[in-house]
Amino acid sequence: MKRAIIGFHRDPRDDWVADLDCAHGQHVRHKPPFQNRSWVVTEDGRNGMLGTELDCVLCDRMEWPADARAYRTREFDDATLPAGLVRDHATAHGVWARIHVRQGVLDYHVGEPINRTLRLAAGSVGIVVPQVRHRIEPMGRVRLRIEFARRTRVSSSESAKE
Ligand SMILES: [Zn+2]
């Protein structure tokens, strides 16, 4: 799915990585003649690309970003589960979540553009991708913990100047 570039940093091999608003990174190498991105080698060029979108396959694959850090946790059971979680909803911009099923079974329905239903039993974890609509459907009695996370590292052009 499309994600906006919010900054850039270099990887340990000195290759440029675009920081996407989903908290994933994506290499944007300039290695002519096969990868032509001359804009990436200048600060002006990089700044000019801020806000443009790249296709993030890591979001499509529901991969937890390495930079995501938990900042809030909530525990629910079938009696305390907020109605909003069983209706179609989505997390805010850049907000990831992990649904840890502690007891029971639930169906985790994920909407566009992922379109999957995952049956989560006790001990399993469902990953919630930022801004992707989803809902959970408990199969009887459940107990779950939801962990919200977002990017902590602010790299962008700051680290490039170091
Ligand atoms: Zn992503």
Integer Cα distance of 142 and 149 in angstroms: 22
CA 54–ligand 1 middle distance (angstroms): 9
What's the confidence (pLDDT) of residue 153? 64
- Shared domain check, 145 and 78: yes
CATH code assigned at 131 = 2.60.120.10
pTM of whole model > 0.85?
Answer: yes
| Residue 158 pLDDT greater than 70, yes or no | no
- Shared domain check, 130 and 79: yes
CA dihedral 78, 82, 88, 91 (to 10 degrees): -120
Integer Cα distance of 75 and 62 in angstroms: 22
CA 24–ligand 1 middle distance (angstroms): 5
Provide the domain count of the chain.
2
pLDDT digits (tens, 9 = 90+) for 25-58: 999 999 999 999 999 999 999 999 999 999 999 9
Specify if 112 maps to a domain. yes
The pairing of beta strand 125-128 with beta strand 134-151: unpaired
List of residues 6+ apart from 49 with CB closer than 8 A: 5, 18, 28, 39, 40
- Shared domain check, 128 and 91: yes
Specify if 159 maps to a domain. no
Domain boundary among 25, 45, 63: 63
CA 20–ligand 1 middle distance (angstroms): 7
